Structure formats: C-alpha cells, structure tokens
Amino acid sequence: MTHSMKLPGRCAVPVEAGSLRLGLMLYALLAVVLMANEARADTCQISLSQPRLDYGHLRHGEQTLGTRTLHLSIVCAEPSAMALRFNGVAADARGFRFGRQGHFRLSLQQARIDGQPVEWMSAPLPGALATAPLVPGQTLVASASGRPVTGRRLTAQVEVSAEVPPEAFAVRRETLLEGLGVFERVSPAVP
C-alpha cells in the first residue's frame, strides 16, 4: 500500500530593476510515502508537520538558509519494526540536490518508539550505528542496544539544512530552485 501527499506550489514575483532574487522552494519533504511492510499487511500512517518548506526570496550573499525543524511520526495499528529511507536526487555522498548547484541535508534527532528513546542503526549492516545525518541510499532502522525495536508509534525531529553556492546567484531573472524527495517506511529486511 502506498500513500503519498503532494502540495503544488510555485514562487513567482516580478524582479525589480537592479536587484537579483532567487525564488526558493524546498519540496524536500513534499511527498511522504508509506510502503507496506512486505512481511505482513500491517497498516501504518506516516505524517510530517510541514510537507513543504518555502525559503522565500534571497539576495546574493544569503547562501546558507539555516536549519528548519520538522516533526515526523509513524503510527501503526500493530507493533512493527521501524525503518526509514529518504529517496531524493543525491547532490553528493552527504546530501540531496537543491536546484542545479545547491544541496540540502537531513538529520533525524530525538527519535522515540512508544515514548522510549531509540538510536538509528544503518541497514544492511546490523549493529552498525548510524550517524544522525540521513544520507542518499541509506536506510535507518530504529534500534536499542544494537537490535531493531518494534512499536506502534515512532516520533522524530527532522532537521533540514539547505545551502546555495554563490554561483547560483549568477542569473538574469528570478530562478526557482527545488529539492524533491520522499520519506519512505520500509521493512528492515529490505536495504
């Protein structure tokens, strides 16, 4: 079963004479997808507090856009192992593409299952603790003491940080930069 949520949006403001503006929309968290656990047909709902981030208009010199914090939750009818992956176009080994030249990075913090703190383990390497950033191609499994944890409710903070290099400001008119991606709940057995 797949559920997706998409919010359309565009940034279009006339360019004033003598100024350069970049319309920036980060749809990094635009679509939230839930994949059913392949081992059984359990029902889970995944939600994100703010599925669209809009960084507004920037002027030259505003390359670092700061960090935004969102809240992610997964609620399942039956206890399930919790594993997450973010599918997006990789900018490099540490982050995802934001426009042609920029990037955004994701970090999962303060994760809890059924109110109990958990840490992230990188799949498919059992026992290998993952660092806080969620990088392209990585699946994170909620764990305690190096073992996957099951539960009905996972909550976590998602920190999103975006950067645009100075070269991205070398445009003649307003330019829309987008970053797209999907959070996906997967079976821990699927890397």
Residue 145 Cα to chain centre, angstroms: 25
Instruction: Locate 11 and state its tokens.
Output: 């940034």
* Cβ atoms of residues 65 and 163 within 8 Å: yes
Model confidence, pTM: 0.72
Predicted confidence at residue 56, as pLDDT, reads 78
CA-nearest of 85, 4, 7 to 53 is 7
Give the pLDDT of the chain (191 residues) as one tens digit per residue.
Answer: 233 333 233 333 333 433 333 344 444 333 333 333 333 445 888 899 988 888 777 767 666 788 899 999 999 999 999 999 999 999 999 899 988 888 899 999 999 999 999 999 887 655 555 556 888 988 999 999 888 999 999 999 999 998 888 887 777 777 777 888 988 888 765 44
| The residue to which tokens 């935004």 are assigned | 68
Q: Domains (ranges, CATH) in the chain?
A: 2-7+21-186 (2.60.40)
Q: How far is Cα 107 from Cα 158, in angstroms, rounded to an integer?
A: 6
What number of H helices and E strands is found in the chain? 0, 16
Query: Which residue type, as a one-letter code, is found at position 63?
Result: Q
Predicted confidence at residue 126, as pLDDT, reads 53
Residue 166 sits at φ, ψ, to 5 deg, of -55, -30
Predicted confidence at residue 98, as pLDDT, reads 87
Q: How far is Cα 84 from Cα 107, in angstroms, rounded to an integer?
A: 12
* Cβ atoms of residues 57 and 21 within 8 Å: yes
Predicted confidence at residue 115, as pLDDT, reads 96
CA-nearest of 189, 29, 43, 23 to 104 is 29
CA end-to-end span of the chain, whole Å? 18
CA-nearest of 96, 109, 107, 108 to 26 is 96
Predicted confidence at residue 130, as pLDDT, reads 57
